[in-house]
Amino acid sequence: MSIRMLSFSLGFSLLLLLLQPFKPALIYLRDPILAGEAWRLWSASLVHVDYAHLALNLTGFWLLMFLCSTRFNLKFLIFSIFLGASSVGPGLLLFHPGVQWYAGFSGVLYGLFLCGGILSLLARDHLTGLLLTGLPLAKVLTDGWIGGSPLTEALLSTPVLEQSHGYGMGAGLLALVLAHLPRLWGAAAWV
């Protein structure tokens, strides 16, 4: 892992930790969002139900960074995080009116795992690529079919909103497409 990527990963982890005490002002809450607190659509992806939830998401983030930080450049990683965080909240607001609250980075994380997996496949690292694409896809499909994992819900002491994972994965795919669009005009991709 490069010094830049390590520095960003440490700084981002610290940011998530420092934002946690401000959870009441940042969490996705449907009624306040509809009343004008639009920042909650984005900020909910940066706060967590509790510190165990934060630790679980940071573990996934660091696992991803160790597995494929060389596949991302910093600009693409930041863009992917921003796009993922910008997709989960609006997706929940528009298509899941029954969802009253949400917090967590896992939707964005699923998108990052998908990006890392596809980029690993493109780099001919088939094992990493298949694991990073196959496992999240299988979990999203399984959760959609039979419901969330009781183990995860027991660990977090709260229900898991599987829909956020789907929105995050969609944002990850969109980030890859947008990063590769310059190739249509003969320019380099910015992944």
pTM: 0.89
Domain holding 104: CATH number? 1.20.1540.10
Instruction: Give the pLDDT of residue 18.
Output: 98
pLDDT at 156 over 70: no
Q: CA angle, 65 as apex, 43 and 19 as ends, to 5°?
A: 25
Instruction: Give the pLDDT of residue 137.
Output: 84
Which is nearest to 123 in space by CA: 173, 71, 175? 71
Structural domains in the chain (count): 1
d(CA 128, CA 95): 33
Least confident of 4-18, 98-112, 127-141, 150-164: 150-164
Task: Judge whether 116 lies within some domain.
Answer: yes
pLDDT at 72 over 80: yes
Tell me which residue has tokens 């997996």. 117
Task: Please state at what angle helix 106-122 crosses helix 162-180, rounded to 10 degrees.
Answer: 40
Confidence of residue 154 (pLDDT cuts 50, 70, 90): low
Q: Could you tell me the residue range of the domain that residue 132 belongs to? A: 3-185
Mean of all residue pLDDT scores within the chain: 89
